[in-house]
Structure 1
Amino acid sequence: MKTSAHFMSGTMMSKALLTTLLFLTFLNGNAQTEVTKNVIVDAAGWKRVATLDASAGRGYNEMVLFTRGGATTPRIVKISWFKGWSNYGGLNIVSLSNGGLWSKARITYDGTQSYLEVNFTKDIPVLSVYQNQSVWSGGEIIGGTLPDGGGNVVVSAKVGRVNYGEDSFFLGYNGNAGIGTTSPDAKLAVNGVIHSKEVKVDLNGWSDFVFKEDYNLPTLEEVEQHIKEKGHLKDIPNTKEVKENGIHLGEMDAKLLQKIEELMLYTIEQEKRIKKLETELANLKQSEK
């Protein structure tokens, strides 16, 4: 009985020891997956931030670059990258700052090694670079003073508030969003075709002023003269202006409606004249009988 109890006690102690060792191993291995290095950016320009696994750089990971301290910090940007065996890859960028110390990111290949590079806008005495390998795999942060970038560019993307799919969708620091463009000049700028079932445009006014009694309707002679001199209708942009500036849908619809309403007034006036002439002609024929 004592022997059995002694045997069971030893077995339980062995299991407990094994469990403890496994747990410590897990903690140790998991801790090693998170790496933060403080590096130096000695000047503005392209710098290599990380080497990518093997010569081809195959893998995927996330790097977080951030600064600490000072009235205008932190500045932080997260770069998610993917690199295949050959020269293809992808970049997604998210910046949590209103402006930054970096303008672009890219993956390069110098014939031997692949790199994640960042284009810095100024020198940074202390830059922290964070990497978590617990979910992602691939890449190693370069320590010390970051070396200059270079080599063949595999893929690149501009840094803004958000940049998904290498400039496919871009949200700038000013709040303007671009699809197919990284220089959106409005709240939404699209470089391509928009397919929609319906578009609603809010306007402050419409063209019904044409029907007011005090509206100065130009004569058809004046319209003809303007066309001869300018080559387009009055208040309508010419070809050169449209090519340079495009058109505003709401404004253009209002102007086109103005011309349609003017045409309607001309038509009504012509109808009155035609009926008057028909009446005069009928009276003339009646008087000749």
Structure 2
Amino acid sequence: MTEFTFETDAQHAPYNLAYLVDDRSYCYHRFDVDPAHDDGVVDPDTGRRDAPPDFGARRRAVVAFYGHRCGRCAARVDTGSDGDAEVAYLFSVADEDQDSWALRTLVAVCEPCYDLLSTDCTDRIGGFGDAYRRAPQFPAWTGDPRVAVERLPLTGREVWFSDQLRERVAVEGPTGESVNADAAADACLARSTPAAVAVALNEALVADERGPLSTATRRLSDQWESLADRERDAYEQRAVDAETVVGGGFEPCIDLQRA
């Protein structure tokens, strides 16, 4: 059995340079983005803070900064109508409304990952479709660790995979609040798994699917299919019901009273 060990410090591998490069100031001039609108604009009638007038330029800047890849799952994203890429959305990791539209706080994500990250109460789940179901269960190592959240398991197969993968992953490094904690806490479809652990689970899954086969080992997908019906049913009972966000053994990262 292969054991994966990663540092929990987000400043080290396996994370990519999109997060490590903090200075995005050059993007303001290159894409004609006005820093005066980093707080967005306030609607005088409703008092709500809305997107800045140069939203399009900001989206182009952030998507280009992330190499036209989703900051969570690394799927191809684009601001146009490219049929091979997901539509790019902007997700803000700002602590509050202040600077919520600053380029340094924005992450380019695909629609499924945006749906996962932005659904902050149960009443909104499925309000605009079920794109969140297409969001991978685990984040890619090439993404931004601030949004490296683990999606709640929606099927028995995902529950079983998660259990099996956790037996293969060992994480070493300093303890403390994970860099993805805020995003996980605000997404009722996410688990508060530390970013390094979530990434390591994905790496273990990829290694299992792509690793060499032998007579002694089988891929997890094959092992799942070989389980007895009663065993698969037991795992299905632990899967999350997305309409209620309740699943045996899995506590969603949400104060249910808020929902």
- Greater RCO structure (CA 8 Å; 6+ sep): 2
- TM-score higher than 0.5: no
Between structures 1 and 2, the one with greater strand share: 1
TM superposition score normalised by structure 1: 0.23
- Structure whose CA Rg is larger: 1
